[in-house]
Structure 1
Amino acid sequence: MTVPAPRARRRPSAPARLLPPLLVVALLAPVALLFGLTWRHTDDDRALAARERLGVTYLSALAPVTDALVDAQSAAVAGRPVPGEPLTRAVEAAATVDARIGRELRSQERWAGLRAKLEALRDRPPAEPEAAFAAYGEVTDLLLDLYRKVRESSGLVRDPGPDSFFLQDGAGQELPEAVVATGRLADLTTLAARRPAADRLRTATDLAALRVAALTPAGDLVTDLRAAVDSTESTDLGTNVLTPLDTYQRAVEALAAASNPAARTGVVDPAQVAAARLNAQAAATQLQPVILAELDALLAERVDALDQDRRLALGAVGLAVLLLAALGGVLLAAARRARRRAAEARRARAEPGAAPESDAWRPPAGSRPDEPRPLQPVGPAGDPVAAQWGSVDAAR
């Protein structure tokens, strides 16, 4: 009986050799995709929060300009000397801020126009009260436009947080509008006493409109801040904001009572309205930095949280890369061992008299090649006659 020849070891096919790297790439691709999406999302949110903080810084610089400008308007309308130092100091501080971050907020052009108007008023103040009221009204309109521009370009108007959104709306829109309108209301009340009787109806209409313009944003501000307190997770917001808010609300109520002609038999006392305006403006001056500080704290906390998310994403992708690298190393080592065995097998077959492969048939240990064995012809190896009669003897 013929002994079967040893089987040759099969070489791995091309798909089998490509399977390990394809497996690593298939696992790495979704990890890289998720990391890219997470990083892009957190990067956009972080950039928005950082730009919003620049807007808060700019709004903080505009608040002293607003107070000084309203005070200068009241002095000019009343015929008193206009205090130039507070307004100059506030303008210089705001100019420094605009030079630092105005390009990023795209506010430099508007600030340049506003500053030119302010310097023109300082150099050539109007001599007549009515002209002063109109001239300062144009400048305050430019100032409110700059507030809106900063809020839009910084992204504060698109803030995703409910508490921070209400805070920026109150500090960046409602409060400046209330301060400017309150100053105009007090100044027009002063002018109304000097106007002729023929202008009384027009003056009363203008006073009613300015009263609404002053009280409406003040009421909206109270609503915004209470909504921010109700929707926030911060434990400090309510404690820090509600006390100055109550003071401001009482001052606004006093202004509403002093400027109401129905409650005073159709007569409004300009001195009482001016005093109520000063109290309301002083309360607003105390309230605005508190709002802006709380808003900046919320934005800083958001930036820190986004930085933490980015660090976690980096750690997760680093761990995934290490695990995949270990898996790739294991697969590569296995492939190298397989190639080494295949090379040894080819080398063994190519060398004459080499030992057969490990899975080929081998004679029993201690036996001689010419020793008779079952199923093996008797006689010298390679003798065809002996092999023939050996097979006959075996058949008997």
Structure 2
Amino acid sequence: MSVTVNHRPNHLRSAVAAVLTVLILVPAGCLFAWVWNDNQDRRDNTQRERQGVEYLTALAPLISGLAEAQSSALQGVAAPPASLTTAVTNVSAVDARLGAELGTRERWTNLRDKIGKFKTLKGDAEAVFQAHVEVADLALALYASVQSGTGLLRDPDNDVSHLQQVIAVDLPTTVTQVSRMGDLAMLVSAATPARKAVLAPQFGASVEFVNASVDNLTNNLQAAAENTTSTTLSGNLVSTLDQFRRGVEALTRGANPGGTPNPATMATAQAQLQTSLSALSGVVSRETTTLLDDRLDSLDLRHAGILTAGVAVLALTLVAGALHLVGRRRASSARPGPAPAGPDAARGMGRPGDGYGHLNQAPTYGDAPTQRERSGVLR
């Protein structure tokens, strides 16, 4: 009975230790899982945005090629320019790698098929112009699909949020509207009075679109530069943005809203605009990619830190459990065993050496005195 009582505190301590271990490990495990999954989601989202920027970067030359093809077609050149053919090839290569994951395969296939039909377009200049407008609108829709489908539209960082808006909306819209403005100016100047009444409002709307697009582009670039971790963004944007704005202004002067357009001025401005567009698009794409890559590196480091912390907690828990088991085994081996129980113990046999053991010792046969001997001693 004494054995059970003596061991009861040890059992209680073991139970308390086990309960405390569970109470520590369960919340720690839940916290670890939450932090790990949150970091993994952010890594996946950033990687998907990175793919979106790659796709949008490939689309930039396509928009320029479509603008050039539109102007060439209105001048009677049926074959698409080499810039457009190269852009289509490059976008097809990117879509082959990313299209299935980003959900752009169907849109791009449809757009590519319509671009392939440019050389077979027939009809007057206005019909050709409208056919090119429809294809350019499909290209802008592909931009919007990549922007929303990859999460770029919802990026949490101020600089990346504004830069992706420039890449996905402001730049392609500006280029498309500038091209339409210039081509509509030429159509209006060559149209009959009846057709001018129809085309003039379209030309005026294009001028307004161009001005609004350039303002939006400038505002987004300034907002990105004012709050960014990049040390090169502001410096790289200054010259390229100014060059791009000068190209737009020169083309607008050549279109001469309200008057007769100047084809030579427009041609020079168009070449300047294409050069500045390529430079500005390259700067914005590189800066956005760099910011996303820096974020991925930071999330990778955090991922490694979370994993290290989790392994450390688990290792310390295992070590603590092992030390506890070793301590229990040592205590069990050092504890004295219980006294033997038997008939002599029940009769109260004394311990050896206490001076009274002979009172309880059973007489040995042949040694115990008889009654007569005891009587003789007494006498």
Which category of TM-score, normalised to the shorter sequence, fits these structures? 0.7 to 0.9
Deviations 1:185-210 (A, max 9, x none): 11111111111012333322111101
Say whether residues 1:306 and 2:299 are aligned partners.
yes
Does the C-alpha gap of structure 1 residues 121 and 351 become closer, same or farther in structure 2, counting only changes over 3 Å? farther
Tell me: higher relative CO, structure 1 or 2? Use CA pairs within 8 A at least 6 residues apart.
1
> Where does residue 261 of structure 1 map in the other structure?
257
* Aligned CA distance change for structure 1 residues 370 and 241 (closer, same or farther; 3 Å): closer
Q: Tell me which residue corresponds to 1:318.
A: 311
Q: Distance in 1 between matches of 2:264 and 2:81?
A: 23
| Residues 336/128 of structure 1: CA separation in 2 closer, same or farther (3 Å cut) | same
Alpha-carbon RMSD: 2.6
Shift of 1:382: 6.1
Structure 1 residue 134 and structure 2 residue 113: aligned?
no
Match of 2:177 among 178, 181, 195: 181
Letter in 2 for 1:165: S
Alpha carbons of structure 1 residues 345 and 112: separation in structure 2 relative to 1, 3 Å: same
SS in 2 for 1:193: helix
1:19 corresponds to which residue?
16
Q: Which deviations, in whole Å up to 9, do the C-alpha atoms of 1:259-283 show, x marking residues without a partner?
A: 4435xxx433344334333322321
CA distance in 1, matches of 2:71, 2:253: 20
User: Are 2:104 and 2:146, in contact at CA under 8 Å, matched by a contact in 1?
Assistant: yes
Structure 2 counterpart of 1:106, from 103, 106, 130: 103
1:228 to 220, 224, 245: 224
**How far did 1:21 drift?**
2.1
**Is 1:37–2:34 an aligned residue pair?**
yes
Q: 1:287 aligns to what?
A: 280
> CA offsets, 1:177-232, max 9 Å, x none?
11011111111111111110123333221111011112211221111111111110
Please say which of residues 248-257 and 186-195 is displaced more in the overlay. 248-257
**CA–CA distance in 2 between the matches of 1:129 and 1:284?**
27
In 1, distance between residues paired with 2:92 and 2:354?
A: 109
* Pairing of 1:183-262 with structure 2 (within 5 A): 183-261=179-257
**Equivalent residue number for residue 392 of structure 1:** none
| Cα deviation, residue 239, structure 1 | 1.9
What secondary structure, in the 3-state scheme, does the structure 2 residue paired with 1:296 have?
Answer: helix
The number of residues matched between the two structures is 356
Contact 2:74–2:125 (Cα < 8 Å) also in 1:
yes
In 2, distance between residues paired with 1:244 and 1:66?
Answer: 18
1:276 to 250, 256, 269: 269
Any conservation in 1 of the 2:204–2:257 contact (CA below 8 Å)?
Answer: no
What is the CA-CA distance between 1:83 and the residue it aligns to?
Answer: 4.0
SS of the residue aligned with 1:12? helix
2:305 partner amino acid: L
Q: Which amino acid in structure 2 is aligned with residue 276 of structure 1?
A: A
Which residue of the partner structure matches residue 369 of structure 2? none
The code of the aligned residue for 1:369 comes to: G
Give the CA deviation at 1:296: 0.6
Rounded to whole Å, the distance in 1 between the matches of 2:344 and 2:239 is 102
Map Cα deviations across residues 315-344 of structure 1 (whole Å, 9 max, x no partner).
Answer: 1112222222222122222333344456x5
How far apart, CA to CA, are the structure 2 residues paired with 1:182 and 1:278?
12
What is the CA distance between 1:131 and its match in structure 2?
1.5
Query: What are the equivalent positions in structure 2 for 1:29-68 lying under 5 Å apart?
Result: 29-68=26-65
Contact 2:244 2:276 in 1 (8 A): yes
The one-letter amino acid paired with 1:244 is T
> How far has the Cα of 1:7 moved from its partner?
6.3
Distance in 1 of aligned mates of 2:107 and 2:155: 23
Deviation digits for residues 277-304 of structure 1 (CA, Å, limit 9, x no counterpart): 3322321122101111110110010000
Structure 1 residues 79 and 11, CA, compared in 2 at 3 Å: closer, same or farther? same
TM-score, with structure 1 as normaliser? 0.83
Determine if contact 1:174/1:220 at 8 Å carries over to the other structure.
yes
Structure 1: distance between partners of 2:172 and 2:216: 12
Quick one: structure 1 residues 269 and 17, their matched pair in 2 at CA, closer, same or farther if it must change by over 3 Å? same
1:380 aligns with 2:364: no
**TM-score scaled to structure 2, two decimals?**
0.86
Tell me the secondary structure at the aligned position of residue 313 of structure 1: helix
The CA distance in 1 between the partners of 2:137 and 2:332, in whole Å, is: 82
Give 1:315's aligned amino acid: T
Q: CA deviation at 1:67?
A: 1.2
Q: Which residue of 2 aligns with 1:161?
A: 157
What amino acid maps onto 2:290 in structure 1? Answer: A
Work out the percentage of aligned pairs sharing the same amino acid: 34
Q: Deviations over 1:139-187 (max 9, x none)?
A: 1011000010011111111111110111110011110011011111111
Q: Does 1:297 align with 2:290?
A: yes
1:331 aligns with 2:321: no
Contact 1:20 1:328 in 2 (8 A): no
Counterpart of 1:380 in 2: which secondary structure?
helix
